[in-house]
Amino acid sequence: MPYPPQMVKAFKEELTEIGFTDLVTAEAVDSAMKKAATGVTLVAINSVSGCAAAIARPGVRLALENTDHRPDQLLTVFAGQDLEATERMRSYLQDLPPSDPSFALFKDGELVYFMPRYRIESRDANAVAADLHNAFDEFDEFDE
């Protein structure tokens, strides 16, 4: 059973306020991922966990504020809330086990980087931001 919408509203807004598109249906995920066939797309699988609140969401905010290599598309699904959308997004993550919160970076439709929960929960927001920033730099070629 999904979380009540009012419970996750503020958690979702932390990402939509910085440019993420909140995907709530499988169809929306498929449509957005078709656009991911070109350019760089960052996907955040959001959650109610403490590490999402204290580390993942602040970390991605820092990463996006301090980069010249911002992904072309920012997408998010909410695990535990938008069940169908989350399941569909996970189908794009190949054989990776479910992990939330997590981040996935796609380059021209191909998964090129994945940060699972275990690489988030034992760190701080600055460390997560640094890893994301490095991934943006590595896979973004718009300056070339």
Q: Please give the average per-residue pLDDT across 126-138, as a whole number.
A: 95
Over residues 4-52, the pLDDT tens digits come to 888 899 999 999 999 999 999 999 999 999 999 999 999 999 999 999 9
Per-residue model confidence as pLDDT tens digits over 86-126: 999 999 998 899 999 999 999 999 999 999 999 999 999 99
Lowest-confidence range among 37-41, 73-77, 133-137, 140-144? 140-144
Element (H, E) at 139: helix 125-139
71 forms beta bridges with: none
Neighbouring C-beta atoms of residue 92, cutoff 10 Å? 18
Q: Is 29 a domain residue?
A: yes
For 43-66, write each residue's pLDDT tens digit: 999 999 999 999 999 999 999 997
* CATH number, domain with residue 24: 3.40.30.10
**Residue 49 belongs to a domain:** yes
Domain that holds residue 69: 5-137
Inside any domain, residue 144: no
pLDDT of residue 120: 97
Residue 109 resides in a domain: yes
When divided into structural domains, the chain yields a total of 1
Residue 142 lies in a domain: no
Per-residue confidence band for 144, with pLDDT thresholds at 50, 70 and 90: very low
Q: Is residue 19 part of a domain?
A: yes
Asked if 2 contacts 80 with a C-beta cutoff of 8 angstroms, the reply is yes
* Average pLDDT over all residues of the chain: 94
- As a whole number of angstroms, the longest Cα–Cα distance in the chain is 47
32 within domain boundaries: yes
Sign of the C-alpha dihedral computed for residues 37, 91, 46 and 97 taken in this order = negative
SS3 of residue 46 by DSSP: strand
Asked if the structure places residue 143 within a domain, the reply is no
